[in-house]
Amino acid sequence: MTPVEHRGTRLAAAGDDRGTRVAGLVEAARQGCQDAIGDLVTEFSPLLWHVARTAGLGSSDAEDVVQTVWVKLLTHLDGIRTPGALVGWLVITTRRESWRVRKDARRHIPAEQDWLAAIPDDHSRTEDLAITADTQRELAAAMRQLPARCQELLRIVAFVPRPDYHVVAAELGMPPGSIGPTRGRCLARLRALLDTSTEGGA
Amino acid sequence: MARPTPSGRPAEDEPLDQADLALLERIRQLSEIADPMPVDLPERIRFALSLPGLEAEVARLCAEEDQRLLAARAADQSRTITFGSDSLTIMIRIDSNSDGTARVDGWLDPPQRRTIDLRTPGDALLAVADEQGRFAFSQVPRGSVQLTVRAEPEAAGTVRAVIVPALTL
């Protein structure tokens, strides 16, 4: 297991670096530094994208919502002093804006879509093997077995700097202790599912 | 690795460990493969945020009709997009010029005289909407553009600008 532990250590260090860097960007942005705001856009737009998509928006609506949220942030920067406050504000504002768009939309928005549809669940589509490693297919299969709320939480948390996992869980209305500092129910269930599939497949 | 629980499963009340962090990283990669954000989205937003005059309304995409999808006439390449804000509806039709540039015709509703500002990565174009709310940019380079509906100079300060989300011509 040595290689895995090595990789984990490196990831943890990268996560902590990211938290420190984001803290610096938040402070610089609050003081009006345009470059820092731009760097925050690059850093967190993927998070906003996945929040909007888990809220059920189509691609072009999701793009509009992400842009709208950044424009709104510019008038709210004064009150945001920590990365946790920023992440919390971004997640909740993106969700509210996404719900508003869904509610206002006269056009039809398909209800439930399988966000993992692009990941083949067997070996039949060999041309996809290059981009979809076996481990990712295995992860997709396990994710599909989780409740929708768990999929949503884990998808969003995966784009957040490590110190702020609990902020996202709170904004999504998950119970305290659902993720960070503890593992939480969703991640524990996912690990149990992956352990089972490894034992079964070996 | 996680300390094994009596059942041999990682328990939910244990602290996050390295395996959890590695798993979250895999979930991030899976999300990026399964449902990727358009790669140019952050760049387009950075471009839009460089706008001056943020005391403005932001218009939202209401409808987009792409004639190319309807495949009505092969030569007809027009696209009609409608944006709405609290005070204005903005309709834009994009046509192709034979020289490869785009022509942008627009209508404001309710009709009113406004200054229309169209920014491209390399240029800033101006047009004036007439009393019928009509405006036109006859030659616009292809690529990302940002439209802003501003007050006429004499009405500056009394009418709020309306920012239209960046779009790709």
Chain A residues with CB under 8 Å of B26 CB are 135-136, 139
Q: Is the pLDDT of residue A38 over 60?
A: yes
> Tens digits of per-residue pLDDT, A90-99?
999 999 999 9
Question: Among A123-127, B13-17, B61-65, B135-139, which is the least confidently predicted range?
Answer: A123-127
CB burial of B110-132 (b: ≥16 within 10 Å; e: otherwise) equals eebbbbbbbbbeeeebebebeee
pTM higher than 0.90: no
Question: Among A45-49, A113-117, A135-139, which is the least confidently predicted range?
Answer: A113-117
Q: Considering chain B, what is the average pLDDT of its residues?
A: 81
The token duo for A52 is 């909007």
Q: Which pLDDT band holds residue A7 (cuts at 50, 70, 90)?
A: very low
* Window B:105-134, CB contacts with A under 8 Å: none
* Residues paired with residue B144 on neighbouring β-strands, in sequence order: B168
Backbone angles phi, psi at B139, to 5 degrees: -140, 110
pLDDT of A27:
85
Q: Which pLDDT band holds residue B156 (cuts at 50, 70, 90)?
A: low
Residue B13 contacts A, CB cutoff 8 Å: yes
Q: Which pLDDT band holds residue A9 (cuts at 50, 70, 90)?
A: very low
Render A143-184 in DSSP notation, one character per residue: HHTS-HHHHHHHHHHTTS-GGGHHHHHHHTTPPTTSSSSB-H
| Chain B residue whose CA is closest to A5 | B18
Beta carbons of B33 and A157 less than 8 Å apart = no
Q: Considering chain A, what is the average pLDDT of its residues?
A: 81
The token duo for A197 is 């599939």
Does the interface ipTM go beyond 0.90? no
Q: How far apart are CA B94 and CA A38, in angstroms?
A: 29
Distance from CA of B13 to the nearest CA of A (A): 5
Q: Which residues contact B40 (CB under 8 A, 6 or more apart)?
A: B144
- Which member of A61, A66, A182 has the closest CB to residue B45? A66
Q: Which pLDDT band holds residue A132 (cuts at 50, 70, 90)?
A: low
- Which member of A4, A119, A188 has the closest CB to residue B33? A119
Q: How far apart are CA B67 and CA B65, in angstroms?
A: 6
Distance from CA of B66 to the nearest CA of A (A): 13
Residue A105 contacts B, CB cutoff 8 Å: no
Q: How far is CA A92 from the centre of its chain?
A: 13
Q: Is the pLDDT of residue A197 over 50?
A: yes
The token duo for A20 is 């420190």
Q: How far is CA A43 from the centre of its chain?
A: 12
Distance from CA of A84 to the nearest CA of B (A): 18
Chain A residues with CB under 8 Å of B165 CB are 63-64, 67-68
> Tens digits of per-residue pLDDT, A66-75?
999 998 998 8
pLDDT of A47:
97
Distance from CA of B25 to the nearest CA of A (A): 6
Q: Which of A23-32, A36-45, B6-15 has the highest mean pLDDT?
A: A36-45
Q: How far apart are CA B9 and CA A133, in angstroms?
A: 25
Task: Give domain limits for chain A.
Answer: 11-106, 122-202
> Tens digits of per-residue pLDDT, B66-124?
555 544 444 457 888 888 887 889 999 999 999 989 999 999 999 999 999 898 877 78
Residue B40 contacts A, CB cutoff 8 Å: no
Contact of B166 with B121, CB cutoff 8 Å: no
> Tens digits of per-residue pLDDT, A93-119?
999 999 999 887 755 555 556 788 777
Beta carbons of B1 and A70 less than 8 Å apart = no
Distance from CA of A191 to the nearest CA of B (A): 7
Give the CATH class of A11-106: mainly alpha
CB count, 10 Å around CB of B94? 22
Q: Is the pLDDT of residue A1 over 50?
A: no
Q: Which of A48-52, A167-171, A180-184, B116-120 has the highest mean pLDDT?
A: A48-52
In the sheet with B60-66, reading across from the earlier edge strand, the strands are: B60-66, B79-84, B89-96, B102-109, B134-140
Q: How far apart are CA A175 and CA A9, in angstroms?
A: 28
Helix spans in A31-82 (H): 34-54, 59-74
| Chain B residue whose CA is closest to A9 | B18
Percent of chain B at pLDDT above 90? 36
Coil, helix or strand for A32?
Answer: coil
Residue B30 contacts A, CB cutoff 8 Å: yes
pLDDT of B153:
65
Residue A15 contacts B, CB cutoff 8 Å: yes
| Chain B residue whose CA is closest to A75 | B54
pLDDT of A127:
52
Q: Which pLDDT band holds residue A186 (cuts at 50, 70, 90)?
A: very high
Q: How far apart are CA A100 and CA A50, in angstroms?
A: 16
